[in-house]
Every structure is written in C-alpha cells, then in structure tokens.
Amino acid sequence: MKNFGICFNEKIEKSISVKNELIKILSDKGCNSESVSIDNLKEGFDFVFVIGGDGTILKTARFYAKYQTPIFGINLGRLGFLSQVSKNELSCAVEKILNNEFAIENRIMLNSGNYTALNDFVIKGCDTGRTSKFSLKINGKYVCDYLADGLIISTPTGSTAYGLSAGGPVLNPSLNAFVIVPICPHTLTARPIVVPDSEIITVLTDEKAIISADGQEFYEFKSDNIIKKSEYSANLVLLNSFEFYSVLREKLNWAKHPLYSE
C-alpha cells in the first residue's frame, strides 16, 4: 500500500486532532497520506482510514465501493458499530495494518435506481400523521400488503441498525440475504421476512412517499423503482481480533441481564 487516505468529518468534535495524530503516526513509519473531508471525497487511494461515527463510515463506504478501496473505521461517535478502534488504539491499529494483520470483508449493498445503500433503504409515507399501505412483490410476484408507517429493506450489515430497532432479526454480515421489516405495522401478523440477496424487491403504494438510503440521501419514492443487490460491495477492513458476536455483546449489550454489572 502506497497511498493512504484519511477521511474525516469536520462536524465531529476531535476529528481534526485525531486526523493530525494519524498523519504523524503514518509519517513516522515512512508512509505518505492525504486527508479529505467527507464532503469532498476523492479516488486514488490504496487504503482509507475513516475518522468519525457510523454515519461517516456509511457515506465513505458508498463512495469507495465502486473503486474497491478498503476502508478502516476509527470511532468518534456514540455506538461505532462499523468501526474497529477508538482514538486511544490508533497507534496499535496502524502497526497491525502495516504488518498485514487484518482481513478485508466484502459487505453486500443494495441498489435502487441511482442510489446505493450499505445499511438499508427505508420507505415512508409523506403524511407523518397516518399509516400508509405498501404492497410487497418479490421477483414480480405478489407477497402481501402492509398497513404501516413504512418499510425497511436492509442488508445484513444494516440489520443491527434501524431494522433491529423496528423488531427485525440480527443477520450475520457474511450472509447473502436481505431482510424486509415493516415499521409499526397495524396488524399482529406482520413479521419481518428474510430473503436471498438474488431476489428483486418491488414496493407499490398509491400514496406519496419518500425513500432514504442509509438515512442520509432522501428522494421521492416511485413504485417502478426496484430494490436489488448492488453490483458493488463495501470493503471493510477488520483486524484479526474482530469477532462479530463479541461486537454484539460489547456494543449492543446482547443477551445481558438488565441488572448485569461487571
């Protein structure tokens, strides 16, 4: 690796100081680097460090997926589910990366028209004071109708985000599948459904609706928009110590008793 990029979010406190520290660490090890803001991303890097929260990583991942550039997250946000280390672990992490003590995990993404999502697409009616009717089709075949506040179509990576809070299952990120989760459905029999990532998903509605990509890009939803697997995948760098289930335990307090304490 010759060209290191450092992507940072100027809106996050301490992002600039961590960026400067990372530049110095790389320089001390004889590595060249260039910093770029998430609002002015550019191609041409062999490896990209991303400083910020999950939102920063999502935006960066969508941009660099088409270039197959590996990205490594340094958490400055609240949860940091997609990041690998905190700023206190920076020097050790760089050492491991330069020693090739890491793996690159290809995370499947979603596509709808000109938009791509690593976490999810969320479809909601524009009238926030009432529910909307959504008809679901898979591979052109009718599945069911939902009377709900919206629908979430999520990747395994996004299954621990909005889909989880809406009652969806946690999917291991290595699975080739999507999950469809209704938001506040007005029936007790409406449940999330997991489908292979080869399926073509169509959602129909007679009402005006908005669709969002990773909660960051919003545009008018049209019923002729299909949602399917993207031709691109996000290349997330994982240190050799990474273990998905331990992340669930540590960052989501998975299966811990409410009164649990160390």
Q: Which residues are catalytic, by number?
A: 54
The Cα–Cα gap between 44 and 142 comes to: 44
Backbone angles phi, psi at 125, to 5 degrees: -70, 150
**Contact indicator for 126, 149 with CB cutoff of 8 Å:** no
Distance CA 191, CA 196 (A): 17
Beta strand extents in 38-176 (DSSP E only):
47-52, 71-75, 85-86, 102-112, 115-117, 120-125, 132-138, 141-148, 150-154
Helix (H) or strand (E) run with residue 233 in it: strand 226-239
Q: Which residues of 97-134 are buried (b: 16+ CB within 10 A; e: fewer)?
A: bbeeebeebebbbbbbeebbbbbbbbbbbeeeeebbeb
185 near 205, Cβ under 8 Å?
A: no
Q: Dihedral sign, CA of 239, 73, 155, 67?
A: negative
Q: Minimal CA–CA distance to 41: which of 28, 54, 50, 32? A: 50
Say if CB 61 and CB 49 are below 8 A apart.
no
CA dihedral 60, 66, 68, 71 (to 10 degrees): 0
